[in-house]
Amino acid sequence: MTDKIVVFVTVGNSKDAALNRQEPGEKRLAACANLLLGVASWYWWEGKVTEDQEVLLMIKTSRDRFAALEKEVLRLHSYAVPEVIALPIVEGFEELFELD
């Protein structure tokens, strides 16, 4: 097990994705981020199932940077209840995750 995580963040469009990718990267809160366009999302909102096209950010970072990254994403995000989910990276090429 590593101390590295991948953080999933969905946003409504590429402009929002750029904000949520660029600023955390500049602050060294993320080693890298991937942008996946055209994600079909279904979720409960205001008592009904909603379907939207979203953009998914996959952000790679370390556990000790998650709280600061989450705070930055919440500051920049346009959703009232944004998705910010972290999953452990069990194995991976260590040099990919250099943050310093």
Token readout for 28 is: 């060294």
Intra-chain end-to-end CA distance of the chain, in Å: 20
Q: Which amino acid belongs to residue 5? A: I
Ramachandran sector of residue 12 (left: φ over 0; alpha: ψ -120 to 50; beta: rest): alpha
Token readout for 76 is: 């920049």
Spell out the per-residue pLDDT of the chain, length 100, in tens: 689 999 999 998 877 776 656 666 677 888 888 889 999 999 999 999 999 999 999 999 999 999 999 999 999 888 999 999 999 999 877 776 666 5
